[in-house]
Amino acid sequence: MGGTEPELEEENERREEEDKGDEEEEVEGEYEGNEEGERDVEKGEVGVKEKVMERNNVNDEGQRNFRVSTLQRLNPSNPLRIAFNNSTRVAIPPPSQTSLPRSAPAPQPSITTLNSRRYTNRIFLFLFVLHMVLAFGLVCFLVFKGIQGLVVASDTVKRKEKRILKYFLPQAEVASLLSITLALVWQKAVRVWPGFMIHFILWGSFFMSLSAGILLICFQTAPTDGVGVCFVAFAIGNGLYACWVNQRIKFSTKILIKSLEPVPKFGDLNQPTYWMLGIGFLWMSLWILAVIGALNFHFAPLTIIALVLSLAWTTEVMRNVVNLTVSRVISLYYLRGMQANTKFCFQRAVTRNLGSACLGSLFVPAIEALRIVARGLNLLEGEDEFMFSCAHCCLGVMECIFRYGNGWAFAQIAAYGKGFVQASQDTWALFQRQDMVTLVDSDITSSICFLTGVCSASICVIVVAAWTAEVHKPFTASISLLAFFIGYLMTRIAMALPHACVSCYYVCYAENPENRLFDKTIKDRQNLLKSGRDVVVPTPRAPHRLSS
């Protein structure tokens, strides 16, 4: 018995060690299955099987049973990490997968920037620079020809040159100075009394052009009668237009007042206008001398026509340089609340965005003029008249072209540095998205700026024609046309500032109507039009089947 007891004790100790080793193997296997399932779940795999070990010691302590359980399918957007602790399941969401659902798209960086450094429309920039080089060379050559006619030509040519210099050059220079003075006066008056000036310009241009036409007819010469009839015809159309847009004046006045509110915040905003008017006066003086010299050159009429077209494009580019400068300053104020430096904006307009100014200056006046003609034909159209059978088609074509080239584009060109065509498309798409096409289409700010130029030009014609008729009557008709041309171009340069402010107000509102810098003027107008409590004088438009 003494020997048997130690043997039994050794056997019991051996069995206890075996049981303890089996339990440790089970626990290790359990943890390994847990880690394997955990890794599969983090990888996004589903339907993983894991082993759950349960001890069954009801009848026999040495027997162990295994039971296999299958995990339920987990939500892929919120996977669970399973941990076992004595048959207890704890669900722990991984922090890396709870921030965003897997279906949420990653944010894309914006492709638009307010500080684009690329040059826009480089081809037209190159063409304009080439044109300026050729124009400057031609002007210098013609000035040399004029001086040569005074020095080495025959007596007949010398007398002709002296007569032109005496009776032509002073009137042209006075017309330039008078137009610059009137341009600055109009701009200042529009900024101070916008409501009054809209009515004054609409009817002032009517009376001034009518007075100029009557004065020229009173001289009773064939050239002056022809020019005078054109002025009278234009005055009649001007008066009809003033009556037609009478219902648009009130809302346009509100927009003009609101759009001019940021101008006093920028004390040097008018500096680009002064620079362009000064450069324009110097170039105009050389140009007038070149016209005089062209009279002593071969193909004088063709040369003068080329000079007129060159001057028109050059002054239009000057106007749009002012437009781009003001548009960038005002756009940055609306879009970012920034007080931009006018000098840097002007430098940007004459360098990086000059190509767009050249392209827009070349095509926008032509597109708008053809659009007006197409709408006029649409007004005169009859049901059975063959003459106007293509009116709808022409208007539809012009409306389509207008989407790819319009004056509203300069706001986005200045702000984002886009090309002219892309900016025109994006701006018109903004207007369509915000249901603002009717509002911008009925805006008369562009017409007011145009009629301001006509009013200044008519005043220049009256002054110069009366002067020339007293000193040398044969020059009256030609000098009257030149004075009208100079007066109109110079005034449009100065009126670029209010025009740019209105354009930026519309375009920036269309981009972000909830901006705190905008009030409810446009939104209230839209609500009135939709409810039928207010009407807009219908503008002739192409039928939907043609314009779409």
Q: How far apart are CA 4 and CA 345, in angstroms?
A: 109
Categorise residue 16: left if φ over 0, alpha if ψ from -120 to 50, beta otherwise.
alpha
Distance of alpha carbon 153 from alpha carbon 407, whole angstroms: 48
| Gap between the Cα atoms of 105 and 250, Å rounded | 47
Closest CA to 175 of 398, 463, 428: 463
Q: What are the structure tokens assigned to 476, written together?
A: 């009256």
pLDDT, residue 308, reads 95
Predicted pLDDT at 7 = 53
The structure tokens 């003459």 sit at 387
Report whether 351 contacts 315 (CB < 8 A).
no
Give the bridge partners for 57, in sequence order. Answer: none
Q: CB-based contacts of 69: which residues, under 8 Å, 6+ apart?
A: 49, 50, 52
The stretch 144-165 carries a mean pLDDT of: 82
pLDDT band for position 184 (cuts 50, 70, 90): very high
Rounded to 5 degrees, what angle do the CA atoms 256, 258, 262 make?
A: 110
Beta-carbon count within 10 A of 446 CB: 15
Q: How far apart, in whole angstroms, are the C-alpha atoms of residue 360 and residue 367?
A: 10
pTM assigned to the model: 0.76
Non-local (6+) Cβ contacts of 368 within 8 A are 406, 407, 446
**Residues 286-342: pLDDT tens digits?**
999 999 888 878 888 899 999 999 999 999 999 999 999 999 999 999 998 888 999
Q: Quickly list H helices, 43-154.
A: 122-151
Residue 16 has pLDDT above 80, yes or no: no
pLDDT score of 229 more than 60: yes
Q: Dmax over Cα atoms in the chain, in whole Å?
A: 163
DSSP 171-184: HHHHHHHHHHHHHH
Radius of gyration of the chain (CA): 40
Q: Report the distance separating Cα 456 and Cα 454, nearest Å.
A: 6
pLDDT at 117: 85
The pLDDT confidence band at residue 511, using thresholds 50, 70 and 90, is very high
DSSP E strands: which ranges in 4-142?
Answer: 49-54, 65-70, 81-84, 89-92
Query: What pLDDT does 282 receive?
Result: 95
